[in-house]
Structure 1
Amino acid sequence: MKNNFSQTCTDATGDFQATLYAATYILLFIPGLLANGVALLVLCRFVIKKHKAVIFMINLAAADFAHVLSLPLRMYYYINHHWPFGSFLCQFCFYLKYLNMYASICFLTCISIQRYLFLRYPFKAKDWKRRYDAALSVAIWIVVGAACLPLPILRSPDSSNSTNNTCFADLGVQQLTMGASIALVVVAELSGFVVPLTVIIFCTWKMRQSLQTSDAAVQHANEKQKAWQMILVCAAVFFICFTPYHVNFPIFMMVKQNAITNCAIYQSTLHFHSISLCLASLNCCLDPILYYFMTSEFKERIFQQTGAAIWHRLASHDSSTGVISAGEMGEGGQQNKSVLLGYLWTLHPHRFEGTGGTGTDSKER
């Protein structure tokens, strides 16, 4: 009776889930791949040399990048409704989804705590070593990786009534005892949502209070403002991406364990579960906002690389226009350079202060 009820209601939501997942992953793949790939390159190669509090950002970008790499397989399945890659790869992609979610939650929380503590205790922050962040990151990966292991096991192909050509949302859920279901929900909600949410709200609130004090120097006030903006972005990403899933998760477990037998509630819960998982995947495109807008070194490095690329294209264009006189070449090159410097000055005028309006003055001096 329960199986027939579950099958009927699930069939009614299958097309909606497949269309939503496929569309979402197609939209997220290219931006997520480019944003996190560039972020990892810039953070690991340039920013880490100048910025002490960047280890958590690197780990956050790595978690997002790993999830993005699994999206093509998800797109293939939801478009073709067929999984030819075997059970292990299915479970591994399923595992990466939740590993990314809870690792991102942990690293967003760590970024918020670190920003708050560094601004609250600046002298102690100077003694903080980068290896402490690295050790804490390793511990997070170990704990989160172990905690997420039961999730793909609960959704293994062996628990589904269908063939092994199914994966992801079409997998069945193993029936648990009432005690095991309650324990799973309580642990996941407390450790993966309630505690991080409380910490992020506390850091946001304390930073807001700190900004309201008017006895700080201008430079320190600017640092506080930047820290407040980063914590605010962490809170926004957390609320947008992870709150809907964890609000719906207890009801989803009740539905999957057949504790709720109303078909309307069943279908509504599965619909919202699909939407919440898509919002959770959105974090791979929202997290790079932290790196670009809130880390000055990251922004400057992107600016430098972009300017160099534009200058290289202009130089290549000049060299390909044919044989011209040395005077004409110098005049054309100077015009291109002036146009480029004028454009870049509008984006970052502080980088050209004191140069006299040209890029050659600093060299001449």
Structure 2
Amino acid sequence: MDVANRSCKSSEDFQVYQHQVYAVVYSVILAPGLLGNVLALWVFKVYVRETKKAVVFMMNLAVADLMQVLSLPLRIYYYLNNTWPFGHALCMICFYLKYVNMYASIFFLVCVSVRRCELVMRPLRYNSSRRKGDLAVCALGWLLVCLCCLPFPLLRNPAGGGGGSGSNSSRLAPVCFSELPMRDVSVPAAWALLILAELLGFVIPLVLVLACTCLTAGSLREPAAGAFPDRGEKQRALRMVLSCATVFLLCFVPYHVTMPLDFLVKADALDSCALRDLIRRCHPVTLCLASLNCSLDPLMYYFTTEEFWRRLSKPEIPESMTFSRRWSCISGGSGHRGLELSLGAVEGPASQQLKP
């Protein structure tokens, strides 16, 4: 690889370019990502018990996005100052969280799409036991994502984080993230890890999201019946599924297209210097697009989730007490409606029904 790199242009210009791209993009998405995801968690905490529209999955998606956002200030500092003074352990944690966020976001986007599609196709199958099943799915998803992302930091050489030996011995400052040297891995093992990451982290989720989008769109052509007497609920579900597909296609497809190409560059499998340079310059951009999801997801919540904008459009009253108002039929009555006042998401004795 060193011989091939010497035959092409120097990588110094590329490093400056890469640091500038990362510093600018991460600075832009930091504030909206932080505010949007904190706001999303505040809203979903109210509605998690009173709605079945994938709120549990969206809460976990917001947590995954927030984890990445909290690591952005350290990344911005590194790319602006070209040094990492925070120690190797924190470098590995930030590096690891980047991929945990990416694949956790992919997992929960799939879960949101599947749940909304299921509620449209088979609305009567969701009950309290299924709600507990959603919590189990979230826990299992976090476990699988955390385990499957371990190879990303483990394949990096710790000596590179402190200005150690090798290619980094001449550097005056410690390096971090993608500039850490790779451990020696056989080509078959590297290809196996790459194919596994592409299959489980990209191809299968993409097929599921697109399938849910097609099924939800197809349900609009069927006559409304059962739990959905009108088309409004189906249209809202379609907007949510389409939003998940849009975020997926915009943020994660470009990265997973350039990831195997970047591997070919690093494995010295390409002879063309122009092609190598193009891939190396495109890969940081696609990685930034993958980070953009932490700012796009809150926008998706606001424009496609009724509970989200309903909560935000409600004026707050003193002592942080928020009342949700909804019309419901009195069971066993003559069909007239009552007004139920409940404190937050609390249900039970605190609710009061008033006849008009």
Scaled to the shorter chain, the TM-score interval is 0.7 to 0.9
Which residue among 287, 291, 295 is the counterpart of 2:305? 295
Trace 1:95-244 onto structure 2 (pairs within 5 A): 95-126=96-127, 128-158=129-159, 161-162=167-168, 165-216=174-225, 219-244=229-254
Q: Determine the C-alpha separation between the residues in 2 that align with 1:73 and 1:261.
A: 36
Q: Determine the C-alpha separation between the residues in 1 that align with 2:180 and 2:306.
A: 45
Q: Contact 1:237–1:286 (CA<8 Å) still a contact in 2?
A: yes
Q: Contact 2:224–2:231 (CA<8 Å) still a contact in 1?
A: no
Q: Determine the C-alpha separation between the residues in 2 that align with 1:32 and 1:158.
A: 33
Does residue 47 (structure 1) correspond to residue 47 (structure 2)? The answer is yes
| Secondary structure in structure 2 of the residue aligned to 1:161 | helix
Cα deviation, residue 51, structure 1: 1.5
Q: Which amino acid aligns with 1:245?
A: Y
Q: Contact 1:9–1:267 (CA<8 Å) still a contact in 2?
A: no
Range moving further from structure 2, 250-259 or 105-114: 250-259
Q: Determine the C-alpha separation between the residues in 2 that align with 1:276 and 1:134.
A: 32
Does residue 74 (structure 1) correspond to residue 67 (structure 2)? The answer is no
Cα deviation, residue 221, structure 1: 1.4
* Structure 2: gaps of 5 or more residues: 161-165, 320-326, 328-353
- The structure with the greater share of residues assigned to helix is 1
Q: Which amino acid aligns with 1:161?
A: S
Query: Which residue of structure 1 lines up, in the alignment, with residue 351 of structure 2?
Result: none
Write the deviation string for residues 312-340 of structure 1: whole angstroms up to 9, x where unpaired. Answer: 9xxxxxxxxxxxxxxxxxxxxxxxxxxxx
- The structure with the greater share of residues assigned to strand is 2
Query: Which residue of structure 1 lines up, in the alignment, with residue 337 of structure 2?
Result: none
Cα deviation, residue 128, structure 1: 4.7
* Structure 1: gaps of 5 or more residues: 313-349, 351-362
Which residue among 252, 256, 259 is the counterpart of 1:246? 256
Specify whether residues 6 and 153 from structure 1 end up closer, same or farther in structure 2 by C-alpha distance, changes over 3 A only.
Answer: farther
User: After the TM superposition, which segments of 4 or more aligned residues of structure 1 sit over 6 Å from their partners?
Assistant: none
Does residue 270 (structure 1) correspond to residue 270 (structure 2)? The answer is no
Q: Which amino acid aligns with 2:178?
A: A
Cα deviation, residue 298, structure 1: 1.7
Q: Which amino acid aligns with 1:166?
A: V
Specify whether residues 256 and 184 from structure 1 end up closer, same or farther in structure 2 by C-alpha distance, changes over 3 A only.
Answer: same
Q: Determine the C-alpha separation between the residues in 2 that align with 1:220 and 1:3.
A: 65
Q: Determine the C-alpha separation between the residues in 1 that align with 2:303 and 2:239.
A: 9
Q: Contact 2:240–2:304 (CA<8 Å) still a contact in 1?
A: yes
Q: Determine the C-alpha separation between the residues in 1 that align with 2:10 and 2:294.
A: 31
Query: Which residue of structure 1 lines up, in the alignment, with residue 343 of structure 2?
Result: none
Q: Determine the C-alpha separation between the residues in 2 that align with 1:158 and 1:220.
A: 62
Query: Which residue of structure 2 lines up, in the alignment, with residue 279 of structure 1?
Result: 289
Q: Contact 2:33–2:294 (CA<8 Å) still a contact in 1?
A: yes
Write the deviation string for residues 7-29 of structure 1: whole angstroms up to 9, x where unpaired. Answer: 75432311111110000011000
Query: Which residue of structure 2 lines up, in the alignment, with residue 87 of structure 1?
Result: 88
Q: Contact 1:10–1:267 (CA<8 Å) still a contact in 2?
A: no
Q: Which amino acid aligns with 1:47?
A: Y
| Secondary structure in structure 2 of the residue aligned to 1:129 | helix
Q: Determine the C-alpha separation between the residues in 1 that align with 2:80 and 2:3.
A: 26
Query: Which residue of structure 2 lines up, in the alignment, with residue 64 of structure 1?
Result: 65
Q: Contact 1:109–1:199 (CA<8 Å) still a contact in 2?
A: yes
Q: Determine the C-alpha separation between the residues in 1 that align with 2:186 and 2:167.
A: 20
Q: Determine the C-alpha separation between the residues in 2 that align with 1:12 and 1:165.
A: 19
Cα deviation, residue 140, structure 1: 0.6
Range moving further from structure 2, 126-135 or 267-276: 126-135
Q: Determine the C-alpha separation between the residues in 2 that align with 1:176 and 1:264.
A: 26
Write the deviation string for residues 60-113 of structure 1: whole angstroms up to 9, x where unpaired. Answer: 000000100000000000000010001111111010000000000000001111
Cα deviation, residue 260, structure 1: 2.1
Query: Which residue of structure 2 lines up, in the alignment, with residue 347 of structure 1?
Result: none
Identity %: 42
Q: Contact 2:217–2:238 (CA<8 Å) still a contact in 1?
A: yes
TM-score (norm 1): 0.80
Q: Determine the C-alpha separation between the residues in 2 that align with 1:41 and 1:56.
A: 14
Query: Which residue of structure 1 lines up, in the alignment, with residue 14 of structure 2?
Result: 13
Write the deviation string for residues 19-52 of structure 1: whole angstroms up to 9, x where unpaired. Answer: 10000011000010000011111212x1113222
Cα deviation, residue 214, structure 1: 3.6
Larger gyration radius, structure 1 or structure 2: 1
Q: Determine the C-alpha separation between the residues in 1 that align with 2:167 and 2:177.
A: 14
